[in-house]
Amino acid sequence: MLEKNNRKAWLYLLPAMLFLGAFMVYPLVDVFVYSFEEGYNFASQSFFGTGLYNYRYVLRDPYFMQAVKNTFILVIITVPLSTGIALLISLGLNSIKKLKELYQTVFFLPYVTNTLAVGLVFMILFKKTAYSDGLINLLINFFGGSSVDFIDGPYWAKMFVMCFYTIWVVMPFKILILTSALASVNEDYYKAAKVDGTAPFRIFTKITLPMISPMIFYLVITGFIGAFKAYSDVVAIFGTDLNAAGMNTIVGYVYDMLYGNSGGYPSFASAAALILFAIVLTITCINLLVSANSDNF
Partner 1 sequence: MKVVLDHLTKIYPPRNKKDGGFVTAVNDFCFEIPDGKLIGLLGPSGCGKSTTLNLISGLETPTSGRIFFGKDDVTELPPENRGVGLVFQNYALYPHMTVMQNITFPLENLKGADKLSKEQMEEKALEAAKMVQIEKLMDRKPSQMSGGQQQRVAIARALVKRPRVLLLDEPLSNLDARLRLQTREEIRRIQKETGITTIFVTHDQEEAMSITDMIVVMEAGSVRQIGHPQEVYEDPKNLFVAKFLGTPAINVFEGRISGGKLYIGDDAVMDAPAPDQEVWIGIRPEGFIPAADGPLRCRLRGVEVMGRDTSIISENDHCQSDTIRSIISSEIRVDRNSPEVRFAVKPNRTYVFEKESTERIYFGWETPYSPNEDAPSCAGSGEAAAQAGAGPTKATEA
Nearer to partner 1, 213 or 240 (CB): 213
Q: Could you tell me which residues come within 8 angstroms of residue 125 by beta carbon, excluding any fewer than 6 positions away? A: 134, 135, 136
Q: Give the Cα separation of 163 and 171 in Å (integer).
A: 12
Q: Quick one: DSSP state of residue 297?
A: -
Indicate left, alpha or beta for 85 from its phi (over 0: left) and psi (-120 to 50: alpha). Answer: alpha
Nearer to partner 1, 132 or 294 (CB): 294
**Smallest separation, CB 194 to partner 1 (Å):** 5
Q: With respect to partner 1, which residue has the nearer C-beta, 213 or 262?
A: 213
Contact between 56 and partner 1 per CB under 8 A? no
Exposure letters 16-53 (e unless 16+ CB within 10 A, then b):
eeeeeeeeeeeeeeebeebbbbeebeeeeeebeeeeeb
Q: What is the 3-state secondary structure (H, E, C) of 225-248?
A: HHHHCCCHHHHHHHCCCHHHHCCC
Min separation Cβ 85 and partner 1, Å: 24
Secondary structure of residue 49 in the 3-state scheme: strand
Question: What number of chain residues touch partner 1 (CB under 8 A)?
Answer: 21
Binding mask 207-226 for partner 1 (x = CB under 8 A): x--xx-x-------------
Distance between first and last Cα of the chain: 38
Binding status of residue 293 toward partner 1 by CB under 8 A: no
Q: Which of 285, 270, 276 is nearest to 67 (CA)?
A: 276
User: Are the C-beta atoms of residues 36 and 54 closer than 8 Å to each other?
Assistant: yes
Judged by CB under 8 A, which stretch of 70-78, 151-159, 206-214, 274-282 contacts partner 1?
206-214
Give the separation between CA 292 and CA 290, rounded to whole angstroms: 5
Inter-axis angle of helices 53-60 and 62-95, nearest 10: 70
Looking at the Cβ atoms of 142 and 297, the one nearer to partner 1 is 297
User: Which lies closer to partner 1 via its Cβ, residue 32 or residue 103?
Assistant: 103
Identify residues 148-167 at the interface with partner 1 (CB under 8 A): none
Site for partner 1 in 183-202 (CB under 8 A): 186, 188-189, 191-199, 202
295 binds partner 1 (CB under 8 A): yes
Nearest to 237 by CA among 135, 157, 145: 157
CB 153 → partner 1: shortest distance, Å?
Answer: 47
Of 57 and 217, the one with the shorter C-beta distance to partner 1 is 217
Contacting range for partner 1; rule: CB under 8 A; set: 5-13, 130-138, 146-154, 204-212 = 204-212
Is the Cβ of residue 192 or residue 286 nearer to partner 1 in the bound state?
Answer: 192
Smallest gap from residue 78 Cβ to partner 1 (A): 28
Residues in contact with partner 1 by the rule CB under 8 A: 186, 188-189, 191-199, 202, 206-207, 210-211, 213, 295-297
